[in-house]
Amino acid sequence: MSQTVQQIQDEIIDEFSMLDGDMEMTISYIMELGEQLPEMSESSRTEENIVKGCQSKVWLQASLENDKIEFEADSNTAITKGLLSLLVRILSGKSPQEIIDADLYFIDKMGLNRFIGTQRSNGFGAMMKQMKIYGLAFSTKTQNA
């Protein structure tokens, strides 16, 4: 049984709590996570996969495999890429319905809102929204099939 959206978020919150709110350590860790994000293929880094609303460039690609959505993401900035990797970790491999229903509270709980700044936070919000839109799109697709 794979972990639920909530379980993964709680796990992430736990991991970050060990950093004790130290900003430099937090950024370092986020960047590390970004480096571990599987490389996005050049062919997926298209203009139409760019998520609008981000100050830094963000690409997001989704595909349906065995009724689960797999996300691929990338960014031209290291910190955003790290934050993206958290979203991918939480939502990738989940069913469209799970993604639609997902209550993403980890950003607020970890106080990341504060340090990702409004503009970037908006961009981050745009990413989350885009992931949900994919969930919705694929749920219609699976229902129609």
Q: Examine residue 23 and tell whether it contacts other proteins (CB under 8 A).
A: yes
- Nearest CA to 49 out of 63, 61, 62 is that of 61
Catalytic site residue from 12, 54, 127, 131 = 54
Q: Examine residue 29 and tell whether it contacts other proteins (CB under 8 A).
A: no
- Nearest CA to 50 out of 121, 130, 111 is that of 130
Chain-centre distance for alpha carbon 99: 11
Would you say 56 and 120 are in contact if contact means Cβ atoms under 8 Å apart?
yes
Q: Examine residue 120 and tell whether it contacts other proteins (CB under 8 A).
A: yes
Q: Examine residue 58 and tell whether it contacts other proteins (CB under 8 A).
A: no
Q: Round to the nearest angstrom and report the end-to-end CA distance of the chain.
A: 25
Among 15, 22, 67, 108, binds other proteins (CB under 8 A): 22
54 catalytic? Reply is yes
Residue 111 DSSP one-character state: T
Q: Which is nearer to other proteins, 114 or 141 (CB)?
A: 114
Q: Examine residue 78 and tell whether it contacts other proteins (CB under 8 A).
A: yes
Residue 125 CB-density burial (10 A; 0-12 exposed, 13-18 middle, 19+ buried): middle
Q: Examine residue 77 and tell whether it contacts other proteins (CB under 8 A).
A: yes
Residues known to be catalytic: 54
Contacts to other proteins by CB under 8 A = 22-24, 26-28, 31, 55-56, 76-80, 115, 117, 120
